């Protein structure tokens, strides 16, 4: 694990000492990610400098120099065609060896793992920058009139000359919709975040990079699976074992994040079956039973015989962590599970160097059935005349003011079963907003947004649209497939992988994702639905069959619970003063990013129990905390 950065001048005339100074300062700015020594390579004749900051006390092995190439590298890499990486070599070594054997364009489709890199080709005088198939490791870059800069973190880019630092309000609006800033956007104007499997190529002649995508979800790993369902289960078991071995290869101490759900339990079960001794497993617990998955994880761990650790997250720990979140996540990020993720990572680092995670399991194995009721309801609504739907929406808003007794609890449960969640008043408000929409697929975009067009508080913006904008869907299967594609392409890399990578890196811990291995992901992604979900169309049916080989069904057959913290209660107790200071009316007016009236109304509604606004408020609070930190000297 390292942090990388670099500078390329298009006009030359940069001294060696300047290049080294800039690059060293940029690398030092990423100390929250990597705390080890810094290595800098520079060539003033080409106007280029590249640097790498290592983790721990290890040498900066992510910076390698050969006769032709200079590489700075963060992460892990291995040949996807080999069952296991050769012992002794680092990810950077394997990456460079593959590139020098095959060339950059042919090498990248062969490489797998989580990585970000920059490669200077001295013969061609070309700089290549890119990341892995799912952006497990982030890479930011900025093209200026006379230079190109890049870094694992935004803090590195701020250390180079010519930095502007203007906040992109369009990206801020996307943050308020999604709770994360999706690629290629970044919080600063003129900065971009590389997307999955992206490769940039630049030479010193000018700021026009060539951009390629070297792998897509539509590319199968082989000729396709044609066996029976029983054979598919056997093949999936074999492939997950390969992925676990590869992701844990060369790691003297590797553990598993275990929630007790299907995805993480399968990784833990396979990892334990591959180990001669008890592997370490970790889970987060909460005092509130509705948030606490620890008992489920404990039962799975006891059956598997792992060395299990429970970390119970307290309000005091949350409050202590808040000042560090802007540094850990580097740009505004507001998935509330970032808090327990960071706390568990710090605890896990006390006993292991690497953790295997179940991220990617939902996107890969789920049939997205939780979204089907919304499609059904939206399709029925679309059959009614628009005038009637608008009248119904108006009537619902009027009745909503009368409160829950108008409809009673049964109506609330009816809407809950159809994918419209929350307290009764919010359910009615949501339905009133959805009914006038022309297309059923628009319902998902609205439901997946924290702040909507009618209340978007960001000032001076064109109201960035939700990224879910599929072609018109003709049937439920089209709709569910569009959601599956969106969540794999945007939510997985932009939210879940960022959350885990930043949390573990801040603790000096390496994270590995076996489900994203090329032995697993393309194989499952392209399986026919009948094979993947079985005759009963059970959710994650294929993965369950692998898990049932290790764990009894009663231990894992339960509804998905999620991984979050009780923010709504904490906003009214331990975190109230912190939130009040960030949402202060005068402060919001002075900063000028938000319509203070909308923010204050949401805050007051939440405190008065008129609406549950914890997620909407959290995203605003995370931006406010980040903004304050970014303006510190």
Give the domains, in start order, of the chain with CATH numbers. Answer: 2-213 (3.60.20.10), 229-367+481-556 (3.40.50.620), 369-476 (no CATH), 567-630 (no CATH)
Report the length, in residues, of the chain. 633
| Mean predicted lDDT score pLDDT of the chain | 88
Q: Does residue 220 register a pLDDT over 90? A: no
The region of weakest confidence among 78-92, 138-152, 428-442 is 78-92
Beta strand pairing call for 210-213 and 510-512: unpaired
The region of weakest confidence among 115-124, 283-292, 301-310, 538-547 is 283-292
- Nearest 5 degrees, angle CA 616-CA 617-CA 618? 95
pLDDT of residue 402: 64
Q: Does residue 193 register a pLDDT over 50? A: yes
Q: What is the DSSP string of 333-373?
A: ---TTHHHHHHHHHHHTTT-SEEE--TTHHHHH---GGGHH
Q: Measured in whole angstroms, how far is the alpha carbon of residue 550 from the centre of its chain?
A: 29
Percent of the chain with pLDDT over 70: 92
pLDDT of residue 238: 95
Yes or no: say if 281 and 308 are a contact pair by the CB < 8 Å rule: yes
Give the Å distances, CA to CA, from 462 to 166, 182, 465: 17, 17, 9
- pLDDT classification of 189: cutoffs 50, 70, 90: very high
> Dihedrals φ, ψ of 28, to 5°?
-65, -30
| pLDDT per residue as tens digits for the range 575-586 | 999 999 999 999
Report H helices in 214-337. 229-248, 262-273, 294-304, 315-321, 325-329
Q: Does residue 523 register a pLDDT over 60? A: yes
Which residues are 202's β-sheet partners? 127
């Amino acid at each position: 694990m390292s942090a990388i950065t670099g500078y390329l001048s298009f006009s030359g005339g940069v001294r060696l000492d300047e290049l080294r100074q800039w690059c060293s300062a940029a690398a030092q700015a990423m100390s929250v990610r990597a705390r080890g020594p810094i290595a800098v390579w520079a060539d003033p004749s080409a106007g280029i400098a590249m640097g790498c900051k290592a983790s721990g006390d290890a040498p900066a092995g992510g910076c390698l120099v050969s006769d032709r190439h200079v590489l700075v590298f963060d992460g892990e890499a291995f040949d996807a065609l080999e069952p296991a990486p050769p012992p002794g070599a680092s990810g950077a070594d394997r990456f460079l060896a593959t590139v020098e054997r095959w060339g950059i364009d042919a090498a990248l489709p062969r490489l797998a793992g989580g990585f970000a890199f920059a490669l200077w080709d001295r013969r061609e005088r070309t700089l290549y920058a890119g990341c892995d198939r799912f952006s497990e490791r982030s890479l930011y870059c900025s093209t200026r009139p006379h230079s190109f800069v890049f870094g694992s973190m935004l803090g590195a880019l701020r250390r180079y000359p010519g930095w502007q630092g203007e906040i992109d309000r369009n990206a801020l609006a996307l943050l308020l919709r999604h709770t994360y800033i999706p690629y290629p956007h970044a919080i600063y104007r003129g900065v971009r975040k590389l997307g999955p499997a992206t490769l940039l190529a630049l030479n010193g002649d000018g700021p026009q990079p060539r951009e390629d995508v070297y792998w897509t979800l539509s590319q199968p790993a082989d000729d396709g699976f044609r066996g029976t369902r029983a054979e598919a289960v056997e093949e999936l078991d074999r492939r997950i074992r390969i992925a676990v071995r590869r992701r844990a290869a060369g790691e003297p101490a590797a553990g598993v994040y275990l929630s007790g759900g299907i995805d993480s339990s399968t990784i833990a079960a396979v990892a334990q079956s591959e180990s001669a001794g008890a592997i370490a497993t970790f889970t987060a617990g909460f005092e509130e039973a509705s948030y606490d998955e620890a008992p489920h994880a404990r039962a799975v761990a006891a059956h598997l015989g792992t060395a299990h650790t429970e970390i119970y997250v307290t309000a005091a720990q949350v409050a202590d962590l808040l000042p560090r979140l802007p540094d850990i996540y580097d740009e505004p990020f507001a998935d509330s599970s970032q808090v327990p993720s960071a706390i568990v990572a710090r605890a896990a680092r006390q006993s292991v160097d690497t953790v295997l995670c179940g991220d990617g399991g939902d996107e890969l194995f789920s049939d997205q059935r939780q979204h089907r009721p919304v499609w059904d309801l939206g399709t029925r609504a679309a059959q009614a005349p628009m005038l009637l739907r608008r009248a119904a929406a108006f009537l619902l808003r009027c009745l909503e003011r009368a409160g829950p007794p108008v409809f009673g609890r049964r109506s609330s449960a009816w809407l809950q079963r159809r994918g419209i969640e929350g307290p009764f008043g919010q359910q009615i408000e949501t339905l009133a907003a959805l009914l006038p929409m022309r297309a059923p697929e628009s319902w998902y975009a609205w439901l997946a947004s924290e702040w909507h067009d009618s209340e978007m508080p960001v000032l001076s913006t064109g109201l960035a649209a939700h990224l879910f904008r599929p072609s018109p869907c003709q049937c439920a299967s089209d709709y569910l497939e569009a959601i599956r594609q969106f969540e794999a392409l945007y939510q997985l890399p932009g939210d879940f992988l960022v959350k885990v990578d930043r949390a573990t890196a801040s603790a000096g811990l390496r994270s590995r994702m076996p489900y994203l291995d090329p032995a697993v992901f393309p194989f499952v992604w392209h399986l026919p639905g009948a094979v993947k979900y079985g005759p009963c169309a059970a959710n994650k049916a294929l993965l369950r069959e692998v898990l049932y080989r290790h764990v009894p069904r009663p231990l894992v057959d339960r509804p998905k619970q999620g991984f979050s913290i009780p923010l709504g209660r904490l906003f009214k107790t331990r975190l109230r003063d912190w939130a009040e200071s960030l949402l202060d009316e005068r402060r919001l007016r002075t900063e000028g990013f938000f319509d203070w009236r909308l923010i204050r109304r949401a805050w007051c509604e939440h405190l008065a129990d008129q609406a549950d606004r914890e997620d909407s408020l959290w995203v605003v609070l995370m931006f406010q905390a980040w903004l304050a930190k970014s303006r510190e000297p």
